[in-house]
Amino acid sequence: MPPRRERVPVVFDTNIVTGYYLRSNDASANSRVYRLWRNRRELQLIISPEISDEYLEVLERIGIDERRIARFEKRLNGRDTVTLVTPGPQPTESHDPDDNMMLAAAVTGKAKFLITNDHHLLDIPGEQKRKFRFQILTPKQFLAQSDL
């Protein structure tokens, strides 16, 4: 496992987590990115309490087995590959207010990437994205750009 300082700090939008749990293809970009965090420990996942709550609530709502959700929650709470942050003021760049908590965690946690499939985040205008010190990418874009 790479030391923490060598891991890439990222925020996963909820659709990355749900995409992994609903996967029908282990080779999907969502699954590959998720496994870079969970299995290979190449990524440092940045979350806030609100993001953690959203992950767990959505997994329950879409019918993921309670034991799998409990294992995921244990990973979030006990892994050295997770950084819990308390974000400051939320950015307002996304048209979907729920997405702004992802931006806030990325800012506070000094993420290099916010990985998402959500067009509200991906379509933030370039001049607004430049205010951030991280890139907003799809899983495919992240995999193509990274050396992982």
The tens digit of pLDDT for each residue in 39-75 reads: 999 999 999 999 999 999 999 999 999 999 999 999 9
> Which domains are assigned to the chain?
4-145 (3.40.50.1010)
- What lies within 8 Å, CB to CB, of 144 at 6+ separation is none
Range list of H helices, 1-148: 14-21, 29-38, 49-61, 66-78, 100-108, 119-122, 126-129, 139-145
Could you report the per-residue pLDDT of 80-116, keeping only the tens digit for each? 999 999 988 777 777 777 889 999 999 999 999 999 9
